[in-house]
Structure 1
Amino acid sequence: MSRQKNRLKIAVAALAVTASTVLAPVKVTAETLADAMAAAYKHSGLLEQNRALLRAADENVAQAMSALRPIVGWSADLSRTYSIGASASTGFAEVSSQSTAASINLTTQIVLFDGGQSALGVEIAKESVLATREGLTAVEQQVLLRAAVAYLNVRRTSEFVALRQSNLRLITQELRAAQDRFEVGEVTRTDVSLAEARLAAAKSGLAAAQGDLAQAQLEYLAAVGHKPGALTPSGALRNLPRSLDAAAAAALRTHPSMAQARRQVTIAELRVRLADAALSPSVSLNGSLGLSDTLNTAAHGRSATVGIGASQTIYAGGRLSSLQRQAMQNRDADRANLHVVSHNIRQNVGNALATLQVAQASIQASQQQVRAAQVAFRGVREEATLGARTTLDVLNAEQELLDARANLISAQVDELSAGYNLLAAMGELTAQKLKLKVRIYDPAGYYNLVKDAPAGRSEQGQKLDRVLRRIGKE
């Protein structure tokens, strides 16, 4: 009997030590959640892709600006002419001749008036850049949220594995205790079989937990860019809104999807004006300078022309009117989308806030459940040593404690996950607002280099080439 009591004390002590190891903060140097999100920000291919798309949108501004500037071009021609003929002046004798002529022309054209089409094109391009920037911010939130969720899932599954390992060791102790008591006739073979069945279930649960951990580690690798090492526990987020109205109001002001939807409405309205301007006449100033010379002769020529041309489409088979109506329908669609986006944002904020509140309530209940289950488990174990409880009672009490600890771990992770989902739903989950230790990407940097449409051989153009080469090496 003394040997039995010693084994019981050892088992309870092992459970207490393992549980404290699972829930206690890690004191060794390890990766924090902020470190994981910073790594995701630095190495995300999705972010790089959308940054390149933003730079491509910046170039649309340069291309639109070019429509307000003169177009200068040149052309050259070199020709060799051979001829043979007979006429009265030559006595109808065949006479051959040959000559070489060269010419070069310089032309220029600038639009003086087009009903505002070129200026509207510039405004549309600028608004498109701003909308694309908001889209980049939305992608940044997706990248950081994925990294945060991956980090928390690795933490959750790691603690589940440790909990399952503790459970396996404890049930192994239970099985040995049942076998010892069976040998001395205190219990029946049924008690031993119950412990053996529970041990097999514990092994199965451990294998499942290890599989979940492997999957979580792979998701972490994809989201963050490297395999997870030791991860530190994360503290609860602070200064989160408590009411749906406050959270929704903040989200509607700052969320990038809402800002992007507003930009899209502005673009659609500008396109309506552009379709109207297409009915206006256009006036352009044209000029040319030409030089020609017949080689090996004195024949040569010089020419210069300056003129103003005007044109206007009177009838195009109804195409221009159709484009007007189409632009108005697209504008109405974007205005309706603004309402859809606002409702989705409010719903996402409400869902995240409700999940956060449920997780917080679950933490409090699970903590009470763990404390009560610990007391119950120890009491059942002591009663079992006195013969007042069966092996099944002990196993059930141990399972209750296991479930309580698992619920507490899940609730703690769910609280953090819901907090970061709430930040994302409000548009607050960015590297700058989280103050991550990264070099923040400047979306206006490339735009400032190209907005004036610099020529390739200009000083600004050469500076731009150096920037592009540096981007390609990063």
Structure 2
Amino acid sequence: MRFGLTLALIGGVAPVCAQDLLQIWQMALQRDPIYAASRAGRNADQEKIPQARAQLLPYISADAVAEVEDTRRLRGLNDNNSNRRALWALTLVQPIVNIGAWGALERAGYIAKSADVVQEAAYQDLVLRVAQAYFDVLAAQDTIRALQAEKSAIQTQLRAAQQGFELGSITIADTYEAQARLDLINAGELRAQNVLQVSQDLLAKIINERPSQLAELAPDTVLPGPVPNRLSDWTTQSSYANLAVAQAELTAKIIEKQIDIAKSQHYPTVSLRAQTGSASDNGLYNTGNGPSGPRSLDSTVGIQLSIPIFTGGEISSVVREEASRLQQARYQLEEAKRQAVQSTQQHYSGVTSGIAQINALQAAEKSSLASLNANQIGYEVGVRISIDVLNAQQQLYETQRNLSRTRYDTLMSSLKLKASSGILTDQDIVAINQLLTEKR
């Protein structure tokens, strides 16, 4: 259902040269091996239901034996007797009362539901991995863009310092300072290029191809806040809808059924048994003068009752083992609930504080730009020195890099908030994709 929805959404978007998040997501759905492995595991666990149901249905077996027995005396080996036998039987068994088999069928249903939850968790994990890899590439590109702009500004400042030194208006120290900043920027640019390469490799690992130009987040984009904007609503939602909580609940139910199955080993079982078959025995009736002995056809129908009396204490031990595992599962369920609430609080704070940081960094960017302009004018008129301009440049471009990273981190926090609440879907990919543009 999700696959078709995504295709329909892609079909309604006008084609662009750059790959956007929705297109990357579509490729990841088809190509990511982790998600594909989870889907195969889910399909395998669904087979637990027909396997358990088969223990309640009739089964038929056929047996046949053909043998020749040759008996000889120990002395001389000349006195011998040969017996030939041919037997076949057709048996039908229909369980009538088997409480353990019914418990196994219910347990298989819980296992199948647990597999569905695991598959849904893998789906949400794929959403987060695709978005994180995509934003890491964009953040690396923004970092390189800011470093290159800072490098250009430092080169301009370096030329000014060299000219000033040649004219004798400033000392050589300004030239050395600008050159040192330029060398540091060159080293930082190399590191940023490596980060970009690694980020692209991680994205390529998911979609099995190198990403081309990616649609980017426009600088003036206003990021939405959490809806509803109340932490209590999100924590309440996550305490029962978080997928890890759902998985822990199903694990406890599976163990409860396992206890019932273990106890049922004390109970009697009743089954209908019907058998028919024929046999011939030449060895018993053959006198050597006739060709064969008599042939018989026997048929039986009856009810078979089986009552376990003593198993050496094994059943009681299994019950005690499963009871301890149930206690363990309930503690793990409580831990999953607390972890879901804590994660929700963390990611909710990440969204709200991230939006506040974005606003603060945008204001800092404007003030840093004003400071840079003022220092450049002061340097030109002689009331500021080169180091003041370089510091102002560094502050501006560092602010821009921090602003870029904070925007992507805030978007990821919003996705993780929905994942911790169990409501993350491909619609969230669509919503973020609408914020992207082909080119800055």
TM range (shorter): 0.7 to 0.9
Post-superposition CA distance 1:328-353 (Å, at most 9, x none): 22222222222111100001111111
| 1:113 Cα deviation from its structure 2 partner | 1.6
1:285 to 228, 247, 272: 272
Structure 2 residue 280 is matched with structure 1 residue 306: no
Matched with 1:109 is 93
Matched with 1:139 is 122
| 1:161 Cα deviation from its structure 2 partner | 0.5
1:423 to 411, 414, 418: 418
Post-superposition CA distance 1:14-47 (Å, at most 9, x none): xxxxxxxxxxxxx963122222223222212112
- Superposed, 1:8-47 pairs within 5 Å as 29-47=17-35
Letter in 1 for 2:391: N
Letter in 2 for 1:210: Q
Matched with 1:198 is 181
Matched with 2:254 is 267
SS at match of 2:57: coil
Aligned length: 401
Structure 2 residue 137 is matched with structure 1 residue 151: no
Aligned 8 A contact 2:90 2:277 in 1? yes
1:216 to 199, 213, 219: 199
**Structure 1: gaps (5+ residues):** 1-26, 86-93, 437-474
SS at match of 1:315: coil
Matched with 2:50 is 62
Measured in 2, the distance between the counterparts of 1:417 and 1:231 equals 17
Matched with 1:383 is 378
Matched with 2:10 is none
Aligned 8 A contact 2:87 2:279 in 1? yes
Post-superposition CA distance 1:210-267 (Å, at most 9, x none): 1211121122122343322211124635653322211112223322222222222222
**Structure 2: gaps (5+ residues):** 1-14, 283-290, 432-440
Matched with 1:76 is 64
Aligned 8 A contact 1:161 1:206 in 2? yes
Measured in 2, the distance between the counterparts of 1:66 and 1:432 equals 40
| 1:372 Cα deviation from its structure 2 partner | 0.9
2:39 to 40, 51, 76: 51
Q: 1:215 to 1:96 in 2, by over 3 A?
A: closer
Letter in 2 for 1:383: G
| 1:365 Cα deviation from its structure 2 partner | 0.8
2:335 to 333, 340, 348: 340
Measured in 2, the distance between the counterparts of 1:273 and 1:353 equals 42
| 1:99 Cα deviation from its structure 2 partner | 5.9
2:406 to 386, 411, 419: 411
Letter in 1 for 2:87: S
Matched with 2:105 is 122
The TM-score, its normalising length taken from structure 1, stands at 0.79
Measured in 1, the distance between the counterparts of 2:52 and 2:70 equals 47
Q: 1:78 to 1:432 in 2, by over 3 A?
A: farther
SS at match of 1:278: helix
Deviating more after overlay: 126-135 vs 376-385: 376-385
Aligned 8 A contact 1:38 1:431 in 2? no
| 1:166 Cα deviation from its structure 2 partner | 1.3
The TM-score, its normalising length taken from structure 2, stands at 0.85
Identity fraction in percent = 25
Measured in 1, the distance between the counterparts of 2:428 and 2:262 equals 40
1:399 to 394, 402, 407: 394
Matched with 2:346 is 351
Q: 1:338 to 1:147 in 2, by over 3 A?
A: same
| 1:98 Cα deviation from its structure 2 partner | 4.8
Measured in 1, the distance between the counterparts of 2:343 and 2:401 equals 27
